[in-house]
């Protein structure tokens, strides 16, 4: 019988391996940056073109490679990181599988120039689709320069699955930030299409976080430090007041390796419980140092998932440390059991005798006498001087009738009118069911400051005020996109929003449409945005949350269709600026909202296809009251 099992050719096996290791340009960036760190580089430069689709180049000043090592580095399972299986449980390096360069060379055109300290000249290698086209000596400085060109040029189907340049660039920046945050002692630079995006000199951890996330991050960081036998914890957490609507600023590093772990994230989220705004997420940059033998990092091709030997203990330590730091820096309430000597009474007070309190009462004061005199003499002006009635002495009980001397001239008509006034004031808040009062009732009322309730011929109409305003603003914005630019109200002082490269790339593609609805920008660059004018129906306090919402909604990229872009932008703006639950509305405002809602083209659903109102007819009431 003919054999049906055969060995795959090397180029096919490498392409299959590349499917796990190289998913997009960001995967190449991650592997090459980690190789530079393992080579003990002190300066690393990243250059990309067309979001990595055309070129990814890494230049470092690490140890470099000899001619033989440079050639072997592109073979499968060739590595200098491990020698035996036991080394997998005592890893101190980033890469160790020896598949990265082989997988990259299988799906791209790769050019490598490298030189080590002991060699007089370097070596240059050019590989295309796993085939070595050239290897020769060259003149280069110590370190390594590797260029990856035309990624997936030999696998068109894989290349077609890549997203837009904006999305791919975002993933590259994410990988760059993770490596840069893990190694603050290394200098990093990043360029995209010739434009410098990051210039991070070697520094301490706090300065590195500020360099990556922007200058405003410095004032929002709360230091965290905890040393135990199991784990050493350090890093920073963001103040709850500056929590983000997205989870982009959440980083865990285990032995300087970025990881994703939902269980540890839950520990941090539990520490922030009760002190975060609704629908916001805390920022944190946490570094854990553990014994390499107590973790297993060889469970995922990208090595971002780790198994812990004692995960529950690390959870408890992490939660306690974060909570303690938030309380220590007066971010969250704590119970302080430390004794303060300032609260102790002096020794002399223990010897002194206690004094009994004395109460002075003006027994001649009558609070009703002045009111009675004004009722009986309405034309008499009230004196500003303090009135001191002259009542007989309490001991003289024979003249008790004098106590009511001021009421003798008070007529029965005055008493009756006074009683009527008091009755009217006590019943102002009661419900009157007379026909006359029902006709004077307002056309709508607000329930729990969230719903607008109004009557119909057949029953009741209950409207969610936020959803209704959401629909109104959305249709208004979509109409403004079709018309000439909206006039904006100019601000006395420009609003400043700090930017980082990721946020800038998103907002730069929305700038034209933001101008269309009334935003006026005085400055718009990688460092900050200065807003000098906003739409007339906006409040300055809403701008920060609006731009956070825009960055969250467009995180996965800008829609290629102009119509879809306008719809998504209008939804973001309308939902953020619509009136919220808890806002009290006057009757006129309620009726105006109802009127505008039913003037919309689709008054029954929000732009996110959620119901806006419900109706209840008399039959519904009859069934519930049977």
Q: In this predicted structure, what is the pLDDT of residue 81?
A: 63
Per-residue pLDDT reduced to its tens digit, 102-151: 888 888 999 999 999 888 899 999 999 888 899 999 999 999 999 999 99
Instruction: Please write the tens of the pLDDT for every residue from 203-244.
Output: 999 999 998 887 778 888 999 999 998 899 999 999 888 888
Residue 591 has pLDDT above 70, yes or no: yes
Q: How confident is the model at residue 439 (pLDDT cuts 50, 70, 90)?
A: very low
User: Could you read off the pLDDT of 491-505 as tens digits, one per residue?
Assistant: 888 888 877 777 777
The per-residue pLDDT for 478 is: 87
With CA atoms as reference, report the closest residue to 519 among 546, 498, 501. 546
pLDDT at 14 over 50: yes
pLDDT band, very low/low/confident/very high, at 462 (cuts 50, 70, 90): very high
What pLDDT is recorded for position 550? 80
Give me the mean pLDDT over the 406-417 stretch.
Answer: 51
- Residue 338's pLDDT is what? 52
Q: Residue 233 has what pLDDT? A: 93
Q: How confident is residue 384, by pLDDT bands cut at 50, 70 and 90?
A: very low
Task: Mention every residue, 6+ apart, whose C-beta is less than 8 A from residue 556.
Answer: 167
- pLDDT tier at 13 (50, 70, 90 boundaries)? confident
- pLDDT tens per residue, range 507-549: 887 888 888 888 888 888 777 888 888 887 777 777 877 887 7
Return all residues near 71 (Cβ < 8 A) that are at least 6 apart: 123, 125, 132, 135
> What is the CA angle 542-544-548, rounded to 5?
115
DSSP letter for each residue of 384-407: SSPP---PPPTT-GGGGGGGGGGG
Give CA–CA dist 433/75, Å, rounded: 90
Please state, as a whole number, how many other Cβ atoms lie within 10 Å of the Cβ of residue 117: 8
Average pLDDT over residues 73-97: 64
pLDDT given for residue 247 in this prediction: 77
Domains observed in the chain? 10-200 (3.30.565.10), 205-328 (3.30.230.10), 440-626 (3.30.1540.20)
Asked if pLDDT for residue 155 goes beyond 80, the answer is yes
CA angle, 422 then 443 then 595, to 5°: 150
**Of 1-10, 55-64, 279-288, 311-320, where does mean pLDDT reach its minimum?**
1-10
Averaged pLDDT for residues 93-104: 71
pLDDT at 352: 61
For the record, the structure tokens of 25 come out as: 């340009």
The whole-angstrom separation of Cα 202 and Cα 483 is: 51
The pLDDT, as a whole number, for residue 58 is 95
Reply yes or no on whether the pLDDT at 275 is more than 70.
yes
Question: Residue 75: pLDDT band by 50, 70, 90 thresholds?
Answer: confident
**In the 8-state DSSP scheme, what is residue 145?**
E
CA distance 326 to 156: 51
Q: Can you count the helices (H) and strands (E) in the chain?
A: 19, 22
Across 108-117, 431-440, 451-460, least confident range: 431-440
Q: What is the DSSP string of 434-474?
A: SHHHHHTS-SEEEETTTEEEEE-SSEEEEEEHHHHHHHHHH
Model confidence at 458: pLDDT above 80: no
Q: What is the pLDDT of residue 429?
A: 42
Of 158 and 421, which is predicted with more confidence? Answer: 158
In the predicted structure, residue 379 carries a pLDDT above the cut 80: no
Rounded to the nearest integer, the mean pLDDT of the chain is 79
What does the pLDDT average to over 452-471? 89
Q: In this predicted model, which residue has the larger pLDDT, 131 or 353?
A: 131
SS3 308: strand
Q: What is the predicted pLDDT for the residue at 430?
A: 40
Any idea what the Cα angle at residue 508 is, between residues 503 and 509, rounded to 5°?
Answer: 110
Stretch 307-318: mean pLDDT, rounded? 87
Kindly tell me if the per-residue pLDDT of 436 is higher than 50.
no
**What's the pTM value of the predicted model, to 2 decimals?**
0.69
pLDDT tens per residue across span 23-74: 899 999 998 998 899 888 999 999 999 999 999 999 999 999 988 888 888 8
Q: Say how far apart CA 158 and CA 294 lie, in whole Å.
A: 38
CA atoms 257, 260, 262, 266: torsion sign: positive
Question: What's the CA gap between 622 and 610, in Å, rounded?
Answer: 28
């Amino acid at each position: 019988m003919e054999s049906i099992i055969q060995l795959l050719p090397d180029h096919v096996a490498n392409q299959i391996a590349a499917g796990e290791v190289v998913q997009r340009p960001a995967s190449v960036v991650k592997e090459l940056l980690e190789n530079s760190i393992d080579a003990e580089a002190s300066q690393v430069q990243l250059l990309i073109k067309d979001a990595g689709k055309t070129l990814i180049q890494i230049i470092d000043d690490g140890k470099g490679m000899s001619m033989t090592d440079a050639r072997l580095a592109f073979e499968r399972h060739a590595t200098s990181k491990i020698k035996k299986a036991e080394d997998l449980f005592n890893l101190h390096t980033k890469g160790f599988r020896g598949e990265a360069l082989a997988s990259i060379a299988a799906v791209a055109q790769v050019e490598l120039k490298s030189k080590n300290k002991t060699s007089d000249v370097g070596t240059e290698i050019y590989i295309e689709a796993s085939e070595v086209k050239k290897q020769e000596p060259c003149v280069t400085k110590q370190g390594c320069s590797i260029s990856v060109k035309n990624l997936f040029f030999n696998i068109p189907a894989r290349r077609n699955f890549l997203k837009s340049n904006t999305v791919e660039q975002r993933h590259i920046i994410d990988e760059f930030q993770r490596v840069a945050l893990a190694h603050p002692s290394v200098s990093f630079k990043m360029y995209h299409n010739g434009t410098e995006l990051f210039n991070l000199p070697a520094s301490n951890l706090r300065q590195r976080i500020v360099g990556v996330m922007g200058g405003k991050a410095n004032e929002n960081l709360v230091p965290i430090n905890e040393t135990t036998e199991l784990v050493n914890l350090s890093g920073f957490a963001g103040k709850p007041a500056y929590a983000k609507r997205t989870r982009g600023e959440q980083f865990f590093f285990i032995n300087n390796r970025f990881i994703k772990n939902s269980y540890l994230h839950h520990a941090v989220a539990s520490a922030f419980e009760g002190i975060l705004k609704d629908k916001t997420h805390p920022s944190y940059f946490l570094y854990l140092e553990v014994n390499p033998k107590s973790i297993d990092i060889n469970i995922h091709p990208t090595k971002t998932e780790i198994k812990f030997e004692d995960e529950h203990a690390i959870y408890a330590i992490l939660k306690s440390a974060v909570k303690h730091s938030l309380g220590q820096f007066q971010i969250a309430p704590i119970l302080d059991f430390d004794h303060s000597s300032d609260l102790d009474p002096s020794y002399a007070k223990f010897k002194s005798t206690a004094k009994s309190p004395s109460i002075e009462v003006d027994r001649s004061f009558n609070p009703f006498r002045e009111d009675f005199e004004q009722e009986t003499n309405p034309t008499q002006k009230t004196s500003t001087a303090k009135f001191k009635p002259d009542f007989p002495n309490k001991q003289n009980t024979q003249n008790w009738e004098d106590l009511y001397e001021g009421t003798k001239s008070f007529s029965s008509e005055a008493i009756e009118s006074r009683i009527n006034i008091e009755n009217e004031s006590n019943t102002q808040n009661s419900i009157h069911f007379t026909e006359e009062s029902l006709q004077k009732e307002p056309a709508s009322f607000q329930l729990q400051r969230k719903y607008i309730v109004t009557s119909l011929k057949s029953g009741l109409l209950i409207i969610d005020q936020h959803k209704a305003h959401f629909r109104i603003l959305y249709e208004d914005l979509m109409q403004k996109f079709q018309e000439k630019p909206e006039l904006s109200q100019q601000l006395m002082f420009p609003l400043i929003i700090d930017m980082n490269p990721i946020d800038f790339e998103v907002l730069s593609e929305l700038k034209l449409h933001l101008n269309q609805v009334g935003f006026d920008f005085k400055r718009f660059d990688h460092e900050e945005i200065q807003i000098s004018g906003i739409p007339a129906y906006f409040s300055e306090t809403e701008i920060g949350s609006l731009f956070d919402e825009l960055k969250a909604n467009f995180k996965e990229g800008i829609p290629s269709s102009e119509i879809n872009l306008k719809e998504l932008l209008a939804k973001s703006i309308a939902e953020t600026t619509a009136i919220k639950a808890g806002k009290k509305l006057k009757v006129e405002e309620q009726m105006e909202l109802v009127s505008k809602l039913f003037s919309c083209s689709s008054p029954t659903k929000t732009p996110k296809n959620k119901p806006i109102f419900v109706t209840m007819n008399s039959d519904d009431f009859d069934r519930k009251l049977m």
